[in-house]
Structure 1
Amino acid sequence: MSGLHDSELQDKSPPHGEHHYNPDPHTHPGLHVIAVVELAKGVLALLAASGLELIGPAPLQRWVHALIARFQLNPDHGAAAWLAQAINPGAVHLAAVVVLLYGVLHIIEGWGLWRAKAWASWLGCIAASLYLPFDIYAFATHRHWLEAVVVLINIIVVWVLAHDLLVRRR
């Protein structure tokens, strides 16, 4: 620890009517929870990008063809047929790069949220807000409890991050 006594670490209330942002990352448990989730998403994306590069297009094409056969889909038309034709070395490399960038972005965001950085709260708030319309649409069309949970979680994330930004602004 920094050598401060517990009494010095106690709440130092600002003058009446003033609110100061506490920059100590340990005072932001909501940011820490979101940071862990973002870090986990980033690590999973890095693993997925690595997996795409290691596996390559041939096994992916075999898996898509196996799914087409398993579900008796038309091998010449439809989304699965398009996907089977779209899988090539260039497309796999491009997908791996996109997933890698996604993962790096989430790791950076997670690190920033863990350290209670304002830019990370902005990044997370904007990103989660962009997902909300899609999540709400999915819930409206499927009306399943899982979609409701996703909407609720994203609303909570936006609220926590927006609240952090508003407290910083005061």
Structure 2
Amino acid sequence: MKQRQPYNPDRHAHPGLAAIALLEAGKAVLAFLAAAGLEISGPAPLRNIVNTLVRRVGADPEHGSFSNLLDLITPDTVHVGVIALVAYGLLRAVEAWGLWRAKAWASWLGCISAALYLPLDVYAIARHPGWASWLLLAVNVLVVWVLARDIGKRRPPRNA
């Protein structure tokens, strides 16, 4: 039986962790930029975007559930959205830092959070098949595989 090598905590020994760390750091930056843009612009541009999208699908933004959606876009709900984006950005930044430093908890966090997206990715392919949906699924499967493999390598070898 092949003897398992002891785990090497050096991030350079795990290029997949560094790549995923950079991906997560990018998500954090995008979340922070979105939060800043939403906070600076306020609810008016968001209402205009939703209004345009509603008209584009042929619905009437003045009546029905779309009217209720537009009524929900207020300065207070924009602040809630900003808080949610900042929290998401912080989570991704902490995960990126942990993966960059090859921390076990970061591999667990990343593996679980990426795995949670897999059913949504499959649903997206079923609803909107295309290269973008397939690429997103492939990236998330790869992230889960790399992080699960890292978690598995961290387990102490069994004594025969």
TM-score normalised to structure 1 length: 0.83
Match of 1:160 among 130, 137, 146: 146
RMSD of the TM alignment (CA)?
1.7
2:111 aligned partner: 125
- What is the CA deviation profile of residues 114-133 of structure 1, one whole-angstrom value per residue up to 9, with x for unaligned ones? 11110100000000010001
Residue identity opposite 2:133 in structure 1: E
Q: After superposition, where does 1:33-112 map in structure 2 within 5 Å?
A: 33-75=19-61, 76-78=63-65, 80-112=66-98
1:169 to 2:155 alignment: yes
What percent of counterpart residues are identical? 50
Residue identity opposite 2:74 in structure 1: N
Aligned length: 154
Q: Relative to structure 1, is the Cα distance of residues 136 and 68 closer, same or farther in structure 2, using a 3 angstrom cutoff?
A: closer
| Distance across 2 between alignment mates of 1:98 and 1:159 | 28
| Distance across 2 between alignment mates of 1:102 and 1:23 | 27
| Distance across 1 between alignment mates of 2:139 and 2:55 | 37
TM-score normalised to structure 2 length: 0.88
1:116 aligned partner: 102
Q: Which has the larger radius of gyration?
A: 1
1:20 to 2:1 alignment: no
* Structure 2 spans left out of the alignment, 5+ residues: none
| Residue 70 of structure 1, CA deviation | 5.0
